[in-house]
Amino acid sequence: MAPNCYTDYLPQATRLVRKTQKASLSALQRHLRIGYGLACQIMDCLHQAEIVVPETDNRAYWRVSPYQVTHHPRGIAVDERCLYIDQVIELTLFFFEMYEEGNDGDTRAFSRLKPALVKNAEIRKVVLGGFFRDGMNLPQAALALHQYLMDRDLVPAVAQDAYHALYAAALAYDRPFRRVTDLQERKSRAYRRLARYYLLVHKHDTAVSNHSRVPDFFVPQAWIRPFAAPGMHPEHVVPCAYMLKKAVEFYDHGWSVDGVAQLIERWLLIIDIPKDAARWLDSGTEALRDRMPPDWDPLHGCIFARLHELHIPFQVPAGRTCSHLPAKPGALQPDKSGAMA
C-alpha cells in the first residue's frame, strides 16, 4: 500500500537529507514522487526534528541542520549537542546489531561510543539486556537510552531536549529485527561498525575516545589473524594509526561508510613476523611504525608494502594477494560509494 500520510514519508525523507546533505522541497518532490503541499508538510516535520533549518523567513529554501552535517572541516569543533546525539545513535545501533548477532559486544568497542560516564556493564545490561529484549525498535531504544541518562543527570544541558532530533536520526537506521548468523555478513557488519566509528572521529575529532588498537576492538582478532605462531610478533600489515588517518581523509573527500568499510576490510590483517623485525619496524633508520611507505597507494597498493620495504620475511595468508605473487584475475576494488569496480 502506498503511503497516504506525510508521516509515512518521514523515514525516507530523513535518510535522503542525511545521505545527500542537501535539503530542498524540489528534491523531496522528485525522490518521493509527491506534490508541493505534501513536501512542505514533510519539511516542517524535519524542521521540528532538527533535521533541517529554513534559510528564508517564508521557508522557501532550506539547509541541513548543523546537527545532521556529516562533513566538517578538520580542526573545527563540533558542538556538544551534535556529539551527544551521534553517540546515543551509534551506541544504540551497536547493541541492536549485537542483539541480532546473539553477541554481547566487545566492551572496548562500545566504551568508545558511550555518550556519558556510565559503567560498561550497566549500559550493556540496560540497552542490550533490557530495551531490545523487551521488544523495542531502534528509535524507541534511542529515546529510552536518552531518558535513562536524563534520569541520572548525565545528559549535557544543550542536549536535554533532543528527543525529536534523536528520533529522527534513529529512523534513518530503523529496520525490523532479524537474526544474523552468516559469518561473512557478520564480518561485513563489523567492518562497517569500525567505519562508522571512524566517521565519528571525522566529525568530532578529539572529542571521541580513541585508542591505537581500535580496529581490534570492533573486528574480532580471529577474523584478521589467520595463524598465530609461537615466539612471533603479531603485526598489523597496515598500521592502525594510518588506517584512522586515511579513513578520515577519505571521508573528507566524500566517501561513504560502505566505501570506507571496504577499504578497511582490504587493509585490516595481522600476520606474525620475527620479534627483531618488529623492533626494526618501530625504530630502524626507515621506521614505519605508524605509516606506510611514502609512495604507497591505499586503493591498489600491496598491503604488505611495509614488510617488503624492510625485507621482512612473512607468510601470505590464503585469500590475500601480494605484489610478489600473481594477482588473482578479476580482482575487484571498492569505490567511494562502497560499490565494487
| DSSP line for 114-162 | -SS---HHHHHHHIIIIIITTT--HHHHHHHHHHHHHHTT-S-GGGTT-
pLDDT tens for each residue of the chain, 341 residues long: 344 566 678 778 887 877 777 778 888 888 888 888 888 888 888 877 767 777 655 566 677 765 555 554 444 555 788 888 989 999 999 999 999 999 988 888 988 888 887 888 888 898 988 888 888 999 999 999 999 998 888 888 888 888 888 888 888 888 899 999 999 999 999 999 999 999 988 888 766 766 778 898 999 988 988 887 788 888 898 999 889 989 988 888 888 889 999 999 999 999 888 888 877 777 655 667 788 888 888 988 888 888 888 888 888 888 788 876 544 433 344 455 554 44
Cell of 285: 633508520
Q: What is the pTM of this model?
A: 0.75
CB burial string 299-313: b at 16+ within 10 A, e below: eeebbbbbbeebebe
Ordered by where they begin, the domains of the chain are 6-68 (1.10.10.10), 80-181 (no CATH), 192-341 (no CATH)
CB burial string 104-136: b at 16+ within 10 A, e below: ebbeebbbbbbbbeeeeeebbebbbebbbeeeb
Cell of 56: 528564508
